[in-house]
Amino acid sequence: MEKIPYKIYLEESEMPKAWYNVRADMKNKPAPLLNPGTHQPMTAEELAPVFCEELIKQELDNDNAYIEIPQEIRDFYKMYRPSPLVRAYCLEERLQTPAKIYYKFEGNNTSGSHKLNSAIAQAYYAKKQGLKGVTTETGAGQWGTALSMACSYFQLDCKVFMVKVSYEQKPFRREVMRTYGASVTPSPSMDTNIGRAILEQFPGTTGSLGCAISEAVEVATSTPGYRYVLGSVLNQVLLHQSIIGLETKAALDKYGIKPDMIIGCAGGGSNLGGLISPFMGAKLRGEADYRIIAVEPASCPSFTRGVYAYDFCDTGKVCPLAKMYTLGSGFIPAPNHAGGLRYHGMSSILSQLYADGYMEATSVVQTDVFQAAEEFARVEGILPAPESAHAIKVALDEAKKCKETGEEKTIVFGLTGTGYFDLVAYQKFNDGQMSDYIPTDEELQASFATLPKM
């Protein structure tokens, strides 16, 4: 048989022309967003002051399996996609494992992550609606960077609320965003009612995604011509990220490769949801089976230690309620170094699939994650983002198990981005000064108490 190349690329003509909506194949649909006042499902009209119209349609669409990618978005995708699917021959050799390891690398763009896949779509629909600009939050900064790039392309204004701890730890991310023309405000800020209230209650707080979301929503809904956009968690974001999985599946199919397991890191669930979508679709339709593993940080363990319940999406409780695996919107995780995985909740789609037993989840501590990141970087060359390294850690563990058992499993994992802006974290690790923080049951119970009473 023809040797599988190190990098499997798709031709431009083989690139997906439609996103795949896994909800269409789910028997148990993800629970709808609820109005926090009435506890009734949010209607398109109620969502309209917050989100762009076309994105609301996508958010509420549980039925159409394929949604065409507009030509303008496909043209932008062509500048940095298709992303390579890499066969990690060198890593396999180093590990002396019979496992076959593949990773889908999403770090080949200036934002350094998969987030551009949804940012460009969301900016496109905002522009098409004739809006002036959009607001958003960013944790580690990848989403804010991606959105800044997308907004500058479509000449939209972009206001980013950046979690304070990241704003201070990652000044270079901030400058990239400003270079693309975005305004960047550390959150909580004194610019919004909710920011002022949070600062009064928790002076000196380093902020959280939930808090930054509240600020961004407040500004979007109180400024004419603006809407709010979100980089993860929402159904529409998973839909856009399905481009990752569709390309991966097309590349594997070219060589008749069937993965045994698919591994991805999970923050709000968008890269994992996107990567697994077409595979999960096949699984849901009973056509194929795969082990699907979500990897989350032990410091923010939504799947593995959270509860499956309706919760607020933000600290300020201005957003709709979502049913998801959650740690409670009051949960403020320890300031670990995988900023993109610090959200208290999880995509409703993935939450339902996890509840129904279609996927597994595991959590890992950050020193193990950085150990795995270095093991990977030293063979494969790419400097991974700490978020991505969660998936690497579990992929390496599985490959090492194969060495013991002699099984030739095919492992696919999502390498979501690069870690050039995370060198302070790498420095801590290299200096032996990184610690692992795992929340106690008491801490989790205290934040579960912040769940809405339904």
| Residue 267 near ligand PLP by CB under 6 A | yes
Q: Which is nearer to ligand PLP, 268 or 281 (CB)?
A: 268
Candidate ranges 20-28, 80-88, 153-161, 380-388; the one touching ligand PLP (CB under 6 A): 380-388
Q: Which is nearer to ligand PLP, 6 or 420 (CB)?
A: 420
Q: How far does the chain reach from its first CA to its final CA, in angstroms?
A: 58
Q: Which is nearer to ligand PLP, 214 or 271 (CB)?
A: 271
Q: Which is nearer to ligand PLP, 146 or 220 (CB)?
A: 146
Cα–Cα distance, 52 to 126 (Å, whole number): 6
Q: What angle do CA 166, 437, 161 make, to 5 degrees?
A: 20
Q: Which is nearer to ligand PLP, 164 or 342 (CB)?
A: 342
Question: Cβ 300 to ligand PLP, closest distance in Å?
Answer: 11
x-or-dash string of contact with ligand PLP, 270-289, rule CB under 6 A: xxx-----------------
Helices and strands per DSSP (H, E), number in the chain: 18, 15
Contact residue for ligand PLP among 144, 245, 268, 333 (CB under 6 A): 268
Residues 11-70 that bind ligand PLP (CB under 6 A): none
Candidate ranges 47-55, 250-258, 268-276, 285-293; the one touching ligand PLP (CB under 6 A): 268-276
Question: Cβ 313 to ligand PLP, closest distance in Å?
Answer: 13
Q: Which is nearer to ligand PLP, 158 or 199 (CB)?
A: 158
| Residue 236 near ligand PLP by CB under 6 A | no
Q: How many residues does the chain have?
A: 454
| Residue 229 near ligand PLP by CB under 6 A | no
Residue that the structure tokens 């999970």 belong to: 266
CB 380 within 8 A of CB 90: yes
Question: What number of other Cβ atoms are within 10 A of residue 296's Cβ?
Answer: 27
Size of the site for ligand PLP (CB under 6 A): 20
Closest C-alpha to 453, from 257, 321, 315:
321
Asked if omega into 188 is within 30° of 0 (cis), the reply is: yes
Cα–Cα distance, 230 to 122 (Å, whole number): 9
| Residue 385 near ligand PLP by CB under 6 A | yes
Asked if omega into 82 is within 30° of 0 (cis), the reply is: yes
CB 321 within 8 A of CB 39: yes
Question: What number of other Cβ atoms are within 10 A of residue 179's Cβ?
Answer: 13
Report how far Cα 287 is from the mean position of its chain's Cα atoms: 27
Contact residue for ligand PLP among 340, 402, 409, 413 (CB under 6 A): 340
Binding-site ranges for ligand PLP (CB under 6 A): 113, 115, 142-143, 232, 265-272, 340-341, 385, 387-388, 416-417
